[in-house]
Amino acid sequence: MSDRLHIIIAGDEGKIRNLLLSRRKLKLYVSIIGIIFIGLSIIAFNTVSFFQSNRTLNNQVAKLSRQLQETSIVKDTLTQQIQDLQGQNNNNQEKADLLNSTITELEERSGLIKRIMCNIGIDVKDVPTNNNNSGGPFISPLDTIGKDLLFRSDHYMETINYLPLGRPLPGHITSRFGHRIDPVNGKKGFHTGIDIKGRIGQKIIATADGKVTKSFVNGSYGQYIEINHGNGYTTKFAHLSKRLVKRGERVTRGQTIGAVGNSGRSTGAHLHYEVCLSKKPLNPIKFMRVDKLLKTPFIPRLTTKKMQKIKHNIITKNLASTPAVLEN
């Protein structure tokens, strides 16, 4: 038997190729191809196993990530709850401290306001009560600190905001209230206010909240402003060079209403300032003695937002201690 193999390959065009192989080479080629096939199969198997393992690991990593995220959310929630509980305890303590400090501050300010008004000679009367057309079940008064103090301070503030306190203009007083020698004709006369020396154009401020009732040129008064403070008190400003408010306008303490001038019957730049009660002129000096207190933010700090906050603190504590009968 021949050790050679003849392989004849015929094409469509009639071409014939003849390959001559020995049996030994054929076995060698078949062995090499088998080895290559086995190697490729092993590689393919390992590759598939690797991708499956990698996918499994990715799924496990994703699952662990989700669990970790859920754990983190739970941890954050628990941490926030702990902080809220701690915050509530802190807030309760802070509210108690704030309430105590607020009441102390109210007591100090109320006492000081009362001394100011007593020094001026103003009697702050209690708010009158009218029992007509009223009723309802009887409930014992709440034992809450600061309740009476709150309403008393409110009453004081309402009174003092509309009192003409302090100076409308810094400067030397050139002519006081009462009997004097007239500076123009040299005759004896009566001065219904005080004269304060100033510079032309220097600003003049309102000494209390109120409504402008007059703002015009008023003969010997010159440029003139009158403010009604709604409690029987009025203030008058004369000899101005400029008026910055109009009739009917609301003004507040410290607001600039005009400028110093020399208009009307005057011998030089100054402000003629009057304080009247029920149209009767009073000596403005006693109302101006509190000027040093008013230079600090003493009066303004007790108005609007701060008073509302004080009320909220006290009323909140009142509601917290209200008997269950109120719920019925």
Summarised one tens digit per residue, pLDDT across range 245-289 is: 999 999 999 999 999 999 999 999 999 999 999 999 999 998 888
Residue 206 to residues 67, 120, 148, 228, 302: CA-CA distances in angstroms?
70, 18, 31, 11, 18
- The pLDDT value recorded for residue 300 is 44
Please say if the pLDDT value at position 138 is more than 90. no
Beta pairing class for 280-282 and 188-191: unpaired
Query: 238, 209, 229, 212: which is closest to 277 by C-alpha?
Result: 229
Q: How far apart are CA 315 and CA 308, in angstroms?
A: 10
Residue 233's CB is within 10 A of a number of other CB atoms, namely 21
- The pLDDT value recorded for residue 302 is 46
3-state class of 167 per DSSP?
Answer: coil
Residue 54 tokens read as: 């990698």
pLDDT confidence band for 316 (50 / 70 / 90): low
- Any idea which residue has 């008013």 for tokens? 294
Query: 286, 288, 327: which is closest to 121 by C-alpha?
Result: 286
- The pLDDT value recorded for residue 135 is 58
Beta pairing class for 194-197 and 173-175: antiparallel
